[in-house]
Chain A
Amino acid sequence: MTASSLGEVATPRGGARRLTGWCRHQVAVAPNYTPGPGRPVDTGRVNLDAAVAVPLLAWVSSGLAAIALAPRNLAARALLGAATLLAASWFVETAAAGVRDETVTGALLRVGADALFLGGLAAAVAILVTFPHGRVERTWHRTVVLVMLALSVAGPVAQLLGSPTLRVGLDPATEIRNVVAVDGLAPLGALGGAVVASEQVWLLVGVAILTLRWGRGTSDERAELRPPLLSLMLLAVLLVVLAASSLTDMGIAFALFDPLFLVALALFPVVLLAGIARRTRGMERELAASRTRLIEAEDRARRQVERDLHDGVQQQLVAILSLTELAAHQARRDGEATAQTLSDVRDQVRTAISDLRELVHGIRPPVLEDSGVAAALESRMTRLPARVTLDVDDARRHRWPPETEAAAYFVVCEAVTNALKHAPGSAVRVAVTGDHTHLRVQVDDTGPGIVRSAQQGRGLAGLRDRVESLGGTFTVTGDRGTGTAVSAHFSLARLRS
């Protein structure tokens, strides 16, 4: 296979190269890459290469399957978005390669293909940022994706306005004069060109973020992120081999590894789909388990209330009743004994009233409903040792939905109880912050860190279920020696949805 025949093979697959950005670049800059005059004359028809169709179809069908499986998952949406944009860029590119006239159409097709391709890359980065749960873990991850999306439009538009010439991708053979360019905007065009040429770096940024997430993740999260990372590594190795073989004129190696690369490229979205599917099933299982736990917790709570009432107030009333009957019996003959019995009755009624008040407070303090979570916690603090401090900030001036306030209140009560029990002597700081958009409660102690006893584990799981069932997030941090921080955060925007 000669250098020019390699060019012949490579050129119609411009789209496939574009799929990677990187590979295209490597091949395009290969010294022996000569599109040359032998190149088939474009007819303007869309030339669907079967070999490129394989990864494209894999991407699009994986994207569709992911959306069908988890329609609200951002990673699934990004997968379908990336697949659609990359496929569209391939079609537009093929069409652009067929338009060699220096027309507005030729120019628009060229920058359009660039914009679609860059958008596809930004979506691919969005997948790597949100895979597999569909959440953006860090604000800067979101910023990176949004900047890429903005650049994917701004770069090509700048080129269209400023560049004197335009190509299909980086292929010099497809260069035409840009009839749209405005004189004097050449620097802008150069800037746009630089943005478009930076595309190889985009995917690397995505891979870097994925690697960072893997490095920071728990062992469970690492297990989830490992398949796409390995898959990306395979792609990288194949790319290097391909680039090396095209650089060193090893046509046979290229012919061998090119299909392998396409297969690996087709496998990548399938790996992503599998990860999203596993995650979705896991979430469904977790949802069912959490529902069961909530029901069990409610059952336990009811049993506790029944027991407290039965053994408490009900018995006190029985005792009081026996004493009133005794007093009535005594009154027939012994006034002094009657007075003594009645004073016992009074004492027991007082005890019963105060016990009942405590019990009601434990079930659901009325002040929570009447005056809000801040006031309820302030009232709760009066029953706790001084080493528990409360900082309610401006939260006192706001109210939230009753179930949110109740969840926040019980998170604090349980966490403080845990801290008092497991971190003896440690200072316990309760903080309530929030406004009309969110509510956050946090309990920090300076104790020995999380001790995962079974009972405490159940208590924490119960709180987590309660918070998450309201769309909030519940976190427990802290290791041995650093103290424990328990927090619950409720976003009202999410509550409404």
Chain B
Amino acid sequence: MRDPLRVVLAEDNFLVREGVRRLLVDGAEIDVVGDAATAPELVQRVRELRPDAVLTDVRMPPHHVMDGIEAALLLRAELPDTGVVVLSQHADAAYAQALFRDGTGGLAYLLKERVGDRDELVRALTTVAAGGSVVDPLVVDALVSAQQRERSSPLHAFTERELEVLREMARGQTNVAIAQELYVSESAVSKHVSSIFGKLGLSEDAGVDRRVRAVLTYVTHGHDSATGRTRPDS
């Protein structure tokens, strides 16, 4: 069996921190090696412990604003081998856009209610530790609807089903998993995926991680950056 994933937990609320810790360590695949109640403490712990992944709250002392996101970006820049899962109570697009402003690799943005699904948490931690990305479906919705505000956005041309598939892709699901989730055949999912990439003007990529990244970059930054060009403000 693989070595357990070494995780540092950051959360200022004691009850939540203990609850999540107990949940994560109730199984052999995760080892919570350290915890922190503030953003600076988290950065320090990670520097000391060099964990595989971090699970952090967004709103923490000292500023109680986006401290968790700032810490995540700092850590990703400093220690590229450490993945960061950000847990947030906010489903607003702005927070996810802030998290993904320098790229999506090794980052996940989940809503706090995902602590009710241990498998999802463990999967997100494993994914970011391997450099992949995960975004909460509700947050993808927020990102998509933010993009749809832009009149020229190709997202207008998406069908309901395609949006569902897009949401699942952003969660980092494979075509097989998406087919199971949506009760459709795998070939139908492939067709939707081709259609999505076609409408977005992106070349289809077989690798799940790279395809999540493409979709996320698209919904986070819009059309220009997804096709390789960077926007002046991003």
Within the complex, which residue of A310, A314, A320, A325 is in contact with B117, where a contact is CB–CB below 8 Å?
A325
- Structural contact, A326 and B22, CB atoms closer than 8 A: yes
Q: Is A475 an interface residue (CB 8 A)?
A: no
Q: Is A324 an interface residue (CB 8 A)?
A: yes
Which residues on the A side are within 8 Å of B113 (C-beta)?
A: 318, 321
Which residues on the A side are within 8 Å of B16 (C-beta)?
A: 315, 318-319, 322
Q: Is B118 an interface residue (CB 8 A)?
A: yes
Q: Is B130 an interface residue (CB 8 A)?
A: no
The B-contacting residues of A in range 316-346, CB under 8 angstroms, are 316, 318-326, 329-330, 341
| Cα A479 to Cα B15 with chains together (Å) | 47
Tell me the nearest residue of chain A to B89, going by C-beta: A314
- Structural contact, B116 and A325, CB atoms closer than 8 A: yes
Within the complex, which residue of B22, B27, B59, B89 is in contact with A323, where a contact is CB–CB below 8 Å?
B22
| Cα A325 to Cα B23 with chains together (Å) | 7
Tell me the nearest residue of chain A to B21, going by C-beta: A322
The B-contacting residues of A in range 261-320, CB under 8 angstroms, are 310-311, 314-316, 318-320
- Structural contact, A319 and B15, CB atoms closer than 8 A: yes
Q: Is A348 an interface residue (CB 8 A)?
A: yes
Tell me the nearest residue of chain A to B18, going by C-beta: A319
Q: Kindly provide the distance from the CB of B65 to the nearest chain A CB, expressed in whole angstroms.
A: 12
Interface string of A142-175 (1 = CB under 8 A from B): 0000000000000000000000000000000000
Q: Is B84 an interface residue (CB 8 A)?
A: no
Which residues on the A side are within 8 Å of B26 (C-beta)?
A: 326, 329-330
| Cα A320 to Cα B18 with chains together (Å) | 11
- Structural contact, B15 and A316, CB atoms closer than 8 A: yes
| Cα A339 to Cα B75 with chains together (Å) | 39
Q: Is B195 an interface residue (CB 8 A)?
A: no
Tell me the nearest residue of chain A to B17, going by C-beta: A319
- Structural contact, B23 and A318, CB atoms closer than 8 A: no
| Cα A323 to Cα B22 with chains together (Å) | 8
The A-contacting residues of B in range 23-82, CB under 8 angstroms, are 23, 26-27, 59
Q: A310-B89, A321-B113, A322-B116 are in contact. Are A315 and B23 (CB under 8 A)?
A: no
| Cα A21 to Cα B19 with chains together (Å) | 89
Q: A322-B115, A325-B115 are in contact. Are A311 and B15 (CB under 8 A)?
A: no
| Cα A316 to Cα B115 with chains together (Å) | 12
Q: A325-B117, A329-B118, A348-B15 are in contact. Are A318 and B112 (CB under 8 A)?
A: yes
| Cα A319 to Cα B13 with chains together (Å) | 9
- Structural contact, A319 and B89, CB atoms closer than 8 A: no
- Structural contact, A322 and B20, CB atoms closer than 8 A: yes
- Structural contact, A319 and B19, CB atoms closer than 8 A: yes
Tell me the nearest residue of chain B to A324, going by C-beta: B116
Interface string of A353-377 (1 = CB under 8 A from B): 0000000000000000000000000
Which residues on the A side are within 8 Å of B116 (C-beta)?
A: 321-322, 324-325
| Cα A341 to Cα B27 with chains together (Å) | 15
- Structural contact, A326 and B23, CB atoms closer than 8 A: yes
Sorted nearest first, the 9 A-B pairs with minimum C-beta distance are: A322-B19, A319-B15, A322-B115, A321-B116, A319-B19, A326-B23, A315-B13, A319-B16, A318-B112
Some 12 contacts from A to B, beta carbons below 8 A apart, are A310-B89, A315-B13, A315-B15, A319-B15, A319-B19, A320-B19, A321-B115, A322-B19, A322-B20, A325-B23, A325-B115, A326-B118
Residues of B within 8 A of A (CB): 13, 15-16, 18-20, 22-23, 26-27, 59, 89, 112-113, 115-118
Q: 10 extra interchain contacts, Cβ-Cβ under 8 A, other than A310-B89, A315-B16?
A: A311-B13, A315-B13, A318-B13, A319-B15, A321-B113, A322-B19, A324-B116, A326-B22, A326-B118, A329-B118
